[in-house]
Structure 1
């Protein structure tokens, strides 16, 4: 069973993903989590502490899920296209709220290095994973290709979670992967 702290953080993350960063208050988190009033503020005394807690929780949760995920081997460009398409479908489908929360938290942390650090660490892990996949499928400049591929994927994800949830995924990913390998 999740602790009071974990329930508060899950609720806070869902709240930010659904209503944006301005909706994040201790009282709203308590209500959304079904906790007694004041529970969230027992863990996070200030709003800044709550935001920092949500940022750390998001990064920690995603790293744990990534580590536990059973990912099929990726040895060909086609397998890479399939893997990235599936990942984007998850991030913009079942995890769309969390994805919107991540974007909101990145923007909130843009001027705060301490707040941004856990998100950047999470991104670093994903960059390393992407570079390794690109090396495995034959990219000549995997670091450069990863930057371009991730920029295209980020744009597609943002597009799907904001203005067009039904935008096609695979054609964009296929073009980006093939370009990364040229």
Structure 2
């Protein structure tokens, strides 16, 4: 029996060669998404924008950065209450797209509502967009209740249909009221143009 002894270079990769080949990884994130995903993640890239001002009790305040986001060029501001996607009984931003701007008409008492109560209040706001002028949309959930009423309607200088809303929320013997005017865009979305608390 003969033994074969090989002498010469070994062809397996050495650890140094492996390290040298993999230490130059390209970590660039080119952020190429499908077009359908672009709108869903658009708010992530808007950090350069200043947070919008919120009028609360007659004084302009800047909404905290962590309570503001954008979805399809709509500013969603929730300085008070629960922070969740969607609006009212629409649990996704896509479904609630038309009414997301109504978050700008805010009340400090929203901090004392649970999520279900806050969603009932938002559902009343949506109902008031279609109700006859002066009809009171009343909601009640647990110990909280409220009323939303469309008090006036008209047309803006650009021809958009507009409504002025009055809303109040009551909980634990406290009541707070707010007014806001919103105009409907041609695509069916609403834009809040003035708020008064």
Give the TM-score, by structure 1 length: 0.27
Higher helix share: 1
Work out which structure has the larger RCO, using CA pairs closer than 8 Å and 6 or more positions apart in sequence: 1
Give the TM-score, by structure 2 length: 0.25
Higher strand share: 2
